[in-house]
Structure 1
Amino acid sequence: MHNSPSDSPQAISWLDHIGNWNPQLLREIRGKLKLRNLIVAIGLSLLFQTLLLLFYSQRIPMQECYTQMRGFGCTPSWQVWWLEQFRFITWTEPFILFFTGVYSLVADLSLEDYKGTLNFIRISPRSSINVLMGKLMGVPILTYLGIGLSIPYHLASAIGANVPIAFLCSFYILMIGTAFLLFSLSLLLALLSGWQAKFGGQVSAGALVFAFITFIWFAPAFMWWNIFTTWSSFSQVLVGGRIEPIHAEWWYLSITSNIWASHAFTIVNLGIFSLAIWRILQRRFHNPASTLISKGQSYVMAVYVQILMLGFCMQSSFMRIPSSNSSTIEFQLILLLLIYIPNCFLFLLAIAALTPQRQALLDWVRFGALATNEGQPAGLGYIIRDLIWSDKSPAPIAIALNLIFTQVLILIWVNTWTASEIRGKALIVLASFVLTILVFSLIAQLILFLKTRNPSAWVTGTISALVFLPVLIMVSLSINPDRHAGLWLFFGFPWLVISNIKFSDIILAFSAQISVIIALTLQLIYQLQRARMQDT
């Protein structure tokens, strides 16, 4: 009887070893590495390399090219011939790896959730990290195989083009680090909110959307960020022309002048963001009903992101610009705007990640700081501690603390500006931002505390309406920011009015926002007390 290679003792021992280390990885290997899948993956990789080689066979440097145009034309030398192939592979591999990896991970985990098999994986005695790492390594294994088969061609073209092998090592290290971050994010997206159940079996549509975003955004960002920082001295190799390296600094420390510093900065940040995502995955995997992150984690993450963004505003070249120059004032406002925009997304995500659902709030009322049990600690201090740290307590206090931690850092930076006029405008922007985010967080918490069907959709719709509807209404009614600056400031659009707003408009707008915050806070307290009385 003929035995297949997979039935040999060596193969069985190898598979058993993988199964003992990570059963989920063994499950994915057995599911993905079927003969048909292997033939397709290997065939596509070899077909890509063959077509690329056939195309460049028309560009082989020959003497006849100088007297007669042949095919696509030829290259002037063998080094250039190899360099063009190296450049093409270098630009193609990240797009293929990121797109196919993200698509396969989101589609696979979403399909598991839709079919219900993910619940069986959750009750596995293995840790969530072990299970999810098995998914990350095993699901895109055919993509890994296809990319791995192209490495010898890539290495040969690098040698032929006299490209330093150190650059090739840097390329693969950074690509693997970025892929790990993106694939970890893909696992998180697939686990969020059960969106795939709303589309029935069409889980591939959502996976395709995420993969497309990766293809048009993350993959180009990976290449261009490294070209302008880490690989600036290899721009001739990557783009065919000399790109002057940018002199970027982070907290006045250069991250582009030294290749080791640029590598360290990129790799460390990839590691920190990956670690944060895996902490969220570990929390979310076994408890899908919990908030996305804990309140303590949110404080650390918000401060770190703020320090990261502010670091890029600390450039030595900015200090050499005369402070009396009007263009400097405009430049400082632009820097503040560049921090303001990601902060808006950051805090909207924080509201979504920290705000507990109705059932969690009811549990907090029954068993938390508001509980009436005799053995339960009581007092204002215990309630405040619970509001700051308990994941089931209302989120606005945690959002307010995140605002304090992050905006104080920006205030310290703004205080270094020499022009008092520009500092006043910046304070208006920051105050408006803080009050608007507090209003949004209170509204989100009140909606999630209601007995409604699909409260998350109601929160998303309400917040979106509060952001976009006032602008549409005021524009349609010809309410000009110059004449009605206070109204625009009340709805959270300080950038349109800070140039010529009156002090009275500022007082009225902020007083109105504070009144709304107080009213919403009282309403939330009333709802909590009502739930407590009903439970009693």
Structure 2
Amino acid sequence: MNNSPIDIPNAPTWLDRLGNWNPQLLREIRGRLKRRNLIVAVSVSLLFQVLLLLFYSQRLPVNDCYIQPGGFGCATSWTEWWREQFRFLAWVEPFLLFLTGIYSIVADLSLEDYKGTLNFIRISPRSSVSILLGKVMGVPLLAYISLGLIIPYHLVTAIKGDVAIAFMLSFYIMLIGTAFLLFSASLLIALLSGWQAKFGGQVSAGALLFAFISFIWISPAFMWWNSITTWSAYSEFLYGRAIAPITAEWWYLPISNNIWAAHGFNIGNLLVFNLAIWRILERRFHNPTATIASKGQSYVITAYLEILMLGFCVQSWVNQSDANEFELQLIMLLLLYIANSLIFLSAIAALTPPRQALLDWVRFGALSTTEEHPSGWLYILRDLIWSDKSPAPVAILLNLLFTHLPILIWVNSWKNPSAQAKALIVIASFVLTSLLISLINQLIMFLKTRNPSAWSTGAILGLIVLPSLTMLSLSISPDRYGSVWLFFGYPWAILTNIKQIDLIAGFSAQISVIIALSLQFVHRLQRANNMAK
């Protein structure tokens, strides 16, 4: 009888369990959690806290406080002394987290793409969500550790400073939710940009650019927006004094005066935006040559963004019987116009397929005449609406219709006929100009050029900027040549002096060019179809 002891396998360690759950996260931890890196991260965090404590030690609220000329003075009480440190940390943490997180994620993913290791990650049997989630959780690991060590200090200052625990909870919920959104967007930017292969792998410069944008724009916007909405009742903890809340409504919902409505609105939008970005990430990660978003996704995203933005234009305090309020409505429409311009330029870039995809659609899509594929205008129209390889202008037109229907309803509620007429001119000009840009972009992307994206970007930027500069330099004033300004998509320049002949001439010229470009594009598709037979 064999009495030899039975080998009992060792229990799995936490690293083994973590690796089974997300191998990419384990890869990032092993690659970054080196002893030297960990010592640096911990040392920087502790040094920052020590320096902060030393700085505020000069403001101790003692009776024999020594105030030097130009010094810092003393706090009025111990509670205020602790609250000042809490306030400083509350303002610094978002800047540090967003800056370091965005830089590290963009630099890491872009570097992997440049070296070619990203292709090996793509063929992993794991889902794209698991891989990219491991990137979000693992790449900024050292930043998480450094800021995590500051949280106990922040919590102590909150307790000693009599800061409401509800505010602390809200602060970190909004901080984590926004950070996850920004880091997810950083993944998308790194996957979409492609500049690292074109500029010799200068990934650090690009990562620094995105991080700098987050530092000077996104982080202040995060603090400002939450200060007037989510944390409006806690302004004393952020600014040292109570600040009267700004009246902000969304479809008459008081998101600046109602703390629960504000939290629900902000958290709900964070969830929606994260879901949209991760759907695009799933689509793009394993298929880098596909369009950024599907046509179906674009209809939902643009409609949602339009309803979201338009909700801020509907305010209960706007008294439409006052003539001054009509100017306010036009200002809101101008802001909406600018936002829509950015949205639709992004939509045009996201939905326009490259030349090879169009050729595949011509050969194997609704235009093909094989027995395996039904033919006819209905099938072609279906492909134009839903197929990702089909031309983009029809989908752009549908997006324009979906987004501008609520705007037309809003404009129809105005009581001033003059303001309504001006708004309709702006809307019509925006729709025609967007469709014109979409056709030009699609024609350029169908050309046999080495880098059609660069040509398309340059052409569109030239169409947006150069006409106005040229007309101004040649003294072509909107008062005398309103139709020319309207043709190039500048309706705001003619609103002060509207002439019917200018409207007819400008819109007729735009429609004529749209028809001509459409016929030219159809001709090229037919020629490609004939060559494929």
Tell me the TM-score normalized by structure 2: 0.97
1:416 corresponds to 2:413: yes
Conserved? CA contact 1:106–1:189, under 8 Å? yes
1:159 corresponds to 2:154: no
Q: Which residue of 2 aligns with 1:108?
A: 108
1:455 corresponds to 2:460: no
Q: Distance in 2 between matches of 1:41 and 1:67?
A: 35
Q: Which residue of 2 aligns with 1:40?
A: 40
SS at match of 1:65: coil
Letter in 1 for 2:16: D
1:70–1:520: structure 2 CA closer, same or farther, 3 Å change rule? closer
Q: Which residue of 2 aligns with 1:520?
A: 517
1:533–1:322: structure 2 CA closer, same or farther, 3 Å change rule? closer
Aligned counterpart in structure 1 of residue 399 of structure 2, from 394, 397, 402: 402
Q: Which residue of 2 aligns with 1:501?
A: 498
Q: Distance in 2 between matches of 1:225 and 1:68?
A: 37
Conserved? CA contact 1:486–1:501, under 8 Å? no
Q: Which residue of 1 aligns with 2:129?
A: 129
Q: Which residue of 2 aligns with 1:333?
A: 330
Q: Which residue of 2 aligns with 1:78?
A: 78
1:534 corresponds to 2:527: no
Q: Which residue of 2 aligns with 1:5?
A: none
Conserved? CA contact 2:188–2:277, under 8 Å? yes
SS at match of 1:394: coil
Q: Which residue of 2 aligns with 1:6?
A: none
Deviation (angstroms), 1:497: 0.4
Q: Distance in 1 between matches of 2:320 and 2:362?
A: 57
Q: Which residue of 1 aligns with 2:474?
A: 477
Q: Distance in 1 between matches of 2:117 and 2:97?
A: 27
Aligned counterpart in structure 2 of residue 372 of structure 1, from 363, 369, 374: 369
| Uncovered stretches (5+) of structure 2, i.e. residues with no partner | 1-9
Q: Which residue of 2 aligns with 1:438?
A: 435
1:308 corresponds to 2:308: yes
Letter in 1 for 2:405: V
Deviation (angstroms), 1:374: 2.0
Letter in 1 for 2:128: S
Structure 1 vs Structure 2: percent identity of aligned residues?
Answer: 68
Residue-by-residue CA offset, 1:384-434 (whole Å, 9 max, x unaligned) = 001000000000000000001111110010000011111111111000000
Q: Distance in 2 between matches of 1:480 and 1:510?
A: 18
Tell me the TM-score normalized by structure 1: 0.96
Letter in 2 for 1:100: T
1:36–1:516: structure 2 CA closer, same or farther, 3 Å change rule? same
Q: Distance in 1 between matches of 2:442 and 2:199?
A: 27
Conserved? CA contact 2:109–2:190, under 8 Å? yes
Q: Which residue of 1 aligns with 2:277?
A: 277
SS at match of 2:59: coil
SS at match of 1:316: coil
Letter in 2 for 1:495: W
Aligned residues: 524
Q: Which residue of 1 aligns with 2:57?
A: 57
SS at match of 2:520: helix
1:315–1:71: structure 2 CA closer, same or farther, 3 Å change rule? closer
Q: Distance in 2 between matches of 1:34 and 1:268?
A: 38
Deviation (angstroms), 1:438: 0.6
- The worse-fitting range, judged by mean Cα deviation, of 63-72 and 522-531 is 63-72
Q: Distance in 2 between matches of 1:478 and 1:95?
A: 46
Q: Which residue of 1 aligns with 2:226?
A: 226
- The worse-fitting range, judged by mean Cα deviation, of 295-304 and 231-240 is 231-240
Q: CA RMSD in A?
A: 1.3
SS at match of 2:72: coil
Deviation (angstroms), 1:212: 0.3
1:500–1:33: structure 2 CA closer, same or farther, 3 Å change rule? same
1:345 corresponds to 2:342: yes
SS at match of 2:313: coil
1:24 corresponds to 2:16: no
Deviation (angstroms), 1:122: 0.1
Q: Distance in 1 between matches of 2:49 and 2:351?
A: 48
Deviation (angstroms), 1:72: 3.0
